[in-house]
Chain A
Amino acid sequence: MNSDTATLALSEVERPRWALRAAAVLLLSVGAGLLLLAVRQAGAGDGLFSALALLAPGWGGLVQAGLGLLRAAHRAPPVALALPWRWILAGAVGWCLGWALLAFSIPKAQAKDEAPSAAADSPLYPPLAAWRDFSPATFAAYAVAILGGEVVLVLLQTFLASGARGLGMAAPSAFVLSLLAAVLVAFAAGAFGAARARRLAAPEATIAVLYLGTPLPVLLTLLPNFPRAALWVGYRFREITYVAELIGRPEIAYWLTFTLLVVALALGILSGFVAGGSGTLDLSTGFELFVAARHVQVFRPRLLFGGLLVLLLGVVPPLLVLAVLRAADAAVERTRIRALGLKDPMLAAAAQRAWAEKAQTATAMMTALSVGGVGVGVMALIIVLSVMSGFEADLQTKILGTNAHVVVLKYTDNGAMPEYAEVVKKVEGLRGVIGVTPFIFGQVMIASEGNVDGTIIKGIDPASVGSVTDLPKNVLPGGNIDWLTQPNSIPVHRPARPRAATDADDEVVHHTPGGTEPVLPGILLGRELAASLRVLVGDRVTAVSPLGGGMGPTGPVPRSRAFRVAGIFYTGMYEYDSKFAYISLGEAQSFLDVKGATGVELKVADVDDARRISGAALQALDGYPYRTKDWGEMNRNLFSALRLEKLMMGIILTIIVIVAAGLIVATVTMLVLEKRKEISVLKALGVPDSGVVKIFLAEGLQIGLAGGLLGLLSGLAWCLFIEKVGLRMDPQVYYIHSLPVKVEPLQTALAVVIAVLVSYLASVFPALRAAQVEPVEGLKAE
């Protein structure tokens, strides 16, 4: 009694709808085009197009156009700005009409085209009857997750890091705490929303993320372009913008943080769906892990060991060895089976069967490949980040060894600070300060008999400078920093036997007219500087200060003074070794004509705390006319460039991990396809959807864990190798002897966590697809 003609006249319904849609899209494009033209006419094109990329998700041309106009308004003088109203109006009308048409084209319930069926009076299948397409409560939960997460981040960061109204923590550690709290909020609220709705509720999540989540990062990104707006709300985000600027490109920080929150939300939603799909929280996974472990079997010693070998030695050698071993094994085994068979055919058959069982399936190969892919990604991440950290640490010790952590300066016409002794006394007692020394700063020319060079000259107090910088330690054997104040002790350099000038033109020849050398004040020179001047300890150099001699009839008169090299220092930084010279404070006062000192240098116990102490020192000195700078500020460009570079490398290498995740998607998808029938059977046996999801998530997770473990082991092994054996570098070129490595535990753990997380996320989609397999589907096949 198959009811015959219930054929849906699909084409009849479809045609006008698609025509409507095409018209709507056309209108939308025309509208957007007109608006763009309007923006171009207002002269705000370039600004708009840079914003376009950020605003594209869901915000539409209207916002973009508005922002472009705003930008133009503040740039152009107000009178000159003529808004092309007609274009704007036409564009806006086209844009709105387009959307209206699109809404109109959404198909309505169709009129009945036939008599009611026999089922007309029976109750509809209840799950269909209870279907909800939008749940306000879940939307609210997701809104709390993303927007609440952002607000928590901003407020907590402000509270923790702000010195005036909060706890005054170091900004980076405060940020870590705030980010953690925000991620927890996003995760928990997402999990709650999904568990409540008992579905993933993707529409709610999309709307929440696009319309509630993006405004804040968009605002923060665009704020620097609008001085008036920045003045108005900018101060509320002071702490956040400060942290973001630490890496040099704040907008990258904003969007990375935003992405992190979105990932946390997605993970929360998934966990909520998986754990609470039943309405009761079910976190046990014993059964699912049991099934998953049988499906993928990645934690076999042979696979892990082989993977490790491949990562450590490269792909080719282990595979060659493997191939040779395999071939040898097979030959031996066949001979054995044949011998057995000659005795008793049954034994041979049994042995053959056992041998055949070892053969690998395609999915097993894919699994091994994905494990290897994740391993390579993690290994590369660990090695590269560790080497970059090594460079950074190397640079930091060199910079901090030569420079103070905090300097106190004074605003005056000649930059002098005659009362430096009081300043020293005031800042000495501050918590966290472990060394204080005064200094004088100047620029001079230094000439020897061999050469001339421009240098930065610093007057120092040899007694206390060691408490602030590593200078005393950096003085090479043969010199002595104390000779700066005891010029009598400097050994006078005499050639063993005076030679004729024609003998060797290039050598330094000392003319000692009176037979005795005069006692001269001491000077310390950097190694490269000394080399370029061709002087040794005990040699004489002349410093010329262009301004020191006061005013003469033709302008400033240079002052020159002779020094004797008291020592040569080596910091390992080419810039310092070629540009710095030190003399005693007293000499500098008279030579450079500075009263007292230029400023005071401080050393602090914890370099990451330098910013806070810098502020505290300024407070102790009652602010103006004093000012303070910490080492981060003094070397901001260098370190932010380094950090940005590291971030970029991290992102690029994470992309490797994501490519590996593509492998995982493929592998888990293959597993799902291969196991369709089994999924049906499991469902028939009473495994809920969330259980099926758990099984396949566990499979992706196992691949990620195995890969992460391999990557961790091989990455650490490589780092150890680089550290212990070393990769030699040419010091002439790099001014560094071997590649520095520094394995930072947090960053290394992060690499593994990223890999595991990415693997987990990669298996989400196939796992959800697995859950959609209908129980009857696999049971009908065959």
Chain B
Amino acid sequence: MALVEIRDVFKSYWLHGKRIDVLSGVSLDIERGELVSLVGASGAGKSTFLHVLGTLDAPVAGSLHFDGTSVFELSDAGLARFRNRTIGFVFQSHFLLPEFTALENVAMPALVQRVDRAAALAQARALLERVGLGARLDHRPGELSGGEAQRVALARALVLQPALLLADEPTGNLDPATGEGIHQLLREVNRDLGITMVVVTHNEVLARSMPRQLRLQAGKVLRA
């Protein structure tokens, strides 16, 4: 059984009474431990797909099975727990919480899960050291550079060792060298921790370096 089974997912938007079909019947299997790249033209619906996959957005129709459980049938709290324990997100911008330090931001998913404060902070510290930010623990997001913030965001996505990491153009805002550093980190995480990943990217080189390559086109996911 595949880790993720997506069947017949439809998603449309309405703008001034006009329907915009973004996903029209997406079906896809993702195996455990896979590293998948997703490309597509701007506006093709890659972000939308990732949001539906991460249960951040409700589709019109379709089903999503994760490890055999039908995710869309979970209650609100069940969905929240699913997002908290099984999914890690990295977005184009870092979306760190501005009132909290880098360390607290990374610990946040563990705190949501009501892990003991000290234990959560220790775990977060270890991860931040691993992404090379041991000297920035007490910085607020406003006091970090773009690349640093993105690495903090990555550490936050990994703190609970999720089964699936969804990354939406994680290097879109960064210069090529910094971006390459993040890519390197992603590959390491996939290799060392065995975390399954779906990475949306415009970077052809990066996309081609991934073991499995998908393309979103005309509302369907195709093999790239």
| A interface residues (Cβ-Cβ under 8 A, vs B) | 1-8, 10, 117-119, 121-128, 130, 198, 277-280, 282, 284, 286-287, 290, 294-295, 677-678, 680-691, 774-776, 778-780, 782
Interchain CB contact under 8 A, B70 and A776:
no
Interchain CB contact under 8 A, A691 and B100:
no
A353 — nearest CB in chain B belongs to which residue? B143
Mark interface residues in B91-114 (1 if CB within 8 Å of A CB, else 0). Answer: 101011111100000001101111
Interchain CB contact under 8 A, B112 and A126:
no
A261 and B8 alpha carbons, distance in the complex (Å): 49
Residues of chain A within 8 A of B72, CB atoms compared: 125-127
Stretch at the interface among B50-58, B144-152, B193-201, B207-215: B50-58
Interchain CB contact under 8 A, B112 and A278:
no
Interchain CB contact under 8 A, A1 and B24:
yes
A290 and B91 alpha carbons, distance in the complex (Å): 25
Residues of chain B within 8 A of A776, CB atoms compared: 51, 56-57
Mark interface residues in B56-72 (1 if CB within 8 Å of A CB, else 0). Answer: 11111111000000101
B77 CB–A CB distance under 8 Å: yes
Interchain CB contact under 8 A, B76 and A688:
yes
Interchain CB contact under 8 A, B25 and A3:
no
Of the candidates A121, A280, A684, A690, which one forms a contact with B89 in the assembled complex, judged by CB atoms under 8 Å apart? A684
A687 and B108 alpha carbons, distance in the complex (Å): 10
Interchain CB contact under 8 A, A122 and B97:
no
Interchain CB contact under 8 A, B58 and A119:
no
Closest approach, in angstroms, between the C-beta of A539 and any C-beta of chain B? 83
Interchain CB contact under 8 A, A119 and B24:
yes
Closest approach, in angstroms, between the C-beta of A615 and any C-beta of chain B? 57
Mark interface residues in B174-190 (1 if CB within 8 Å of A CB, else 0). Answer: 00000000000000000
Per CB-CB distance, the 3 closest pairs between chain A and chain B, nearest first, are A686-B84, A278-B77, A688-B80
Interchain CB contact under 8 A, A287 and B114:
yes
24 contacts between A and B (CB under 8 A): A1-B219, A2-B20, A5-B18, A6-B18, A117-B10, A119-B10, A122-B9, A125-B59, A126-B70, A126-B72, A127-B58, A286-B111, A290-B111, A680-B95, A681-B97, A684-B89, A685-B108, A686-B82, A686-B83, A688-B76, A774-B57, A776-B51, A778-B95, A779-B56
Of the candidates A127, A294, A687, which one forms a contact with B112 in the assembled complex, judged by CB atoms under 8 Å apart? A687
A286 and B56 alpha carbons, distance in the complex (Å): 25
Interchain CB contact under 8 A, B61 and A123:
yes
Residues of chain A within 8 A of B89, CB atoms compared: 684
Residues of chain B within 8 A of A277, CB atoms compared: 75-77
Interchain CB contact under 8 A, B93 and A782:
yes
B32 CB–A CB distance under 8 Å: no
Closest approach, in angstroms, between the C-beta of B31 and any C-beta of chain A? 23
A771 — nearest CB in chain B belongs to which residue? B76
Interchain CB contact under 8 A, A118 and B77:
no
Interchain CB contact under 8 A, B114 and A688:
no
A776 and B84 alpha carbons, distance in the complex (Å): 15
B85 CB–A CB distance under 8 Å: yes
Interchain CB contact under 8 A, A287 and B111:
yes
Of the candidates B8, B18, B80, B91, which one forms a contact with A691 in the assembled complex, judged by CB atoms under 8 Å apart? B80
| B interface residues (Cβ-Cβ under 8 A, vs A) | 7-10, 12, 14, 17-21, 24-25, 47, 51, 54, 56-63, 70, 72-73, 75-85, 89, 91, 93, 95-100, 108-109, 111-114, 117, 156, 218-219
Interchain CB contact under 8 A, A123 and B111:
no
Assuming the A-B contacts A119-B24, A125-B60, A688-B80, are A1 and B112 also in contact, with contact meaning beta carbons closer than 8 angstroms in the complex? no
Assuming the A-B contacts A284-B114, A294-B99, A688-B80, are A122 and B25 also in contact, with contact meaning beta carbons closer than 8 angstroms in the complex? yes
Assuming the A-B contacts A122-B61, A125-B62, A776-B51, are A3 and B19 also in contact, with contact meaning beta carbons closer than 8 angstroms in the complex? yes
A277 and B109 alpha carbons, distance in the complex (Å): 20
Interchain CB contact under 8 A, B77 and A690:
yes
Residues of chain A within 8 A of B108, CB atoms compared: 682, 685
Interchain CB contact under 8 A, B10 and A287:
no
Interchain CB contact under 8 A, B10 and A122:
yes
Q: Given A123-B61, A279-B75, 16 more contacts at CB 8 Å?
A: A1-B218, A7-B17, A119-B25, A122-B7, A125-B72, A127-B72, A130-B73, A277-B76, A284-B114, A286-B117, A682-B108, A683-B80, A690-B76, A691-B80, A774-B56, A779-B91
A126 and B76 alpha carbons, distance in the complex (Å): 12
Interchain CB contact under 8 A, B21 and A3:
yes
Assuming the A-B contacts A2-B20, A126-B73, A277-B76, are A684 and B25 also in contact, with contact meaning beta carbons closer than 8 angstroms in the complex? no
Residues of chain A within 8 A of B56, CB atoms compared: 683-684, 774-776, 779
A782 and B63 alpha carbons, distance in the complex (Å): 30
Assuming the A-B contacts A3-B21, A685-B84, A685-B112, are A119 and B61 also in contact, with contact meaning beta carbons closer than 8 angstroms in the complex? yes
A1 and B56 alpha carbons, distance in the complex (Å): 24
Of the candidates A122, A682, A689, which one forms a contact with B76 in the assembled complex, judged by CB atoms under 8 Å apart? A689
Interchain CB contact under 8 A, A279 and B77:
yes
Interchain CB contact under 8 A, B51 and A779:
yes
A605 and B9 alpha carbons, distance in the complex (Å): 80
A677 — nearest CB in chain B belongs to which residue? B95
A126 and B85 alpha carbons, distance in the complex (Å): 21
B18 — nearest CB in chain A belongs to which residue? A7
A290 and B99 alpha carbons, distance in the complex (Å): 11
Q: Which of B12, B19, B117 has the most CB of A within 10 A?
A: B19
Closest approach, in angstroms, between the C-beta of A779 and any C-beta of chain B? 6
